[in-house]
Structure 1
């Protein structure tokens, strides 16, 4: 594989990976009518990528995107739904390798990886269709 092919493959992989990321602005744009119907203080928080007690699941999705994990929790009041948001951290790695087998064969490969160890950064609990608690990871 030539250097030109390697660079083209790398550029394609990065554009696919970055293109899959949604932003707060893109999520608002996809649901502009719904966003415009929210009170000003809710719109302000969503634009900032923040949430508050009382938000609906739609408002949380608009502000934060899809959760990394969804699970249920039993509480004294009944069953609650919990959304977990994880941060994989800014990790990007590249690898290039090859070998020669006695001068008769040569192989090369390119490896690209994104994401590191997943760390939970936020948990959002819903009761009766509204955010009832927000847990954030402590800073060490």
Structure 2
């Protein structure tokens, strides 16, 4: 049991380190541009946040590439929408049994699958098409 706990702990640490590395990597790849932003903008980007008025480079540095990009009609005209989604796993459980002439048996199986059609919307970033700046940020939990 201790081995399982240790393995789980190590896996969680690698996952957390991987996230931090990705955030820092996006910033370091665009360091010259990042340094031109205001201290408030830099702080928001480091925290993985987006504010109204950000341009696409700032959003990409903060959140990464969008899962989906679309164009929608709004009252003010057309707008570009970036969606950030996470895959939602599905869990299946089945139980089976059988009796034969030479004995009996029972089997239990589990499975976890990920379907690209089963996603959860996390954030929706709306850009004004004329200015290219964020006009609206929608967060979902």
Larger radius of gyration: 2
Alignment of 1:1-140 (within 5 A): 23-88=22-87, 115=114, 117-127=118-128, 128-137=131-140, 139=141
For this pair of structures, how many residues does the alignment match? 100
> What are the ranges of 5 or more consecutive residues in structure 1 without an aligned counterpart?
1-18, 92-112
Once the two structures are TM-superposed, the CA of residue 75 in structure 1 deviates from its matched residue by: 1.3
Equivalent in the alignment of 2:100:
none
Query: Aligned pair in 2 of structure 1 residues 48, 76: CA closer, same or farther (>3 Å)?
Result: same
SS at structure 2 position matched to 1:23:
helix
Supply the distance in 1 between the matched residues of 2:47 and 2:25 (Cα, whole angstroms): 13
Alignment CA distance shift 1:114-1:59 (3 Å): farther
Report the Cα distance in structure 1 between the residues aligned to 2:134 and 2:114, rounded to whole angstroms. 29
Deviations 1:43-62 (A, max 9, x none): 00000111101000000000
Q: CA RMSD in A?
A: 2.8
TM-score in terms of structure 1 length: 0.63
Which 4+ residue blocks in structure 1 deviate beyond 3 angstroms? 113-117
1:100 maps to none
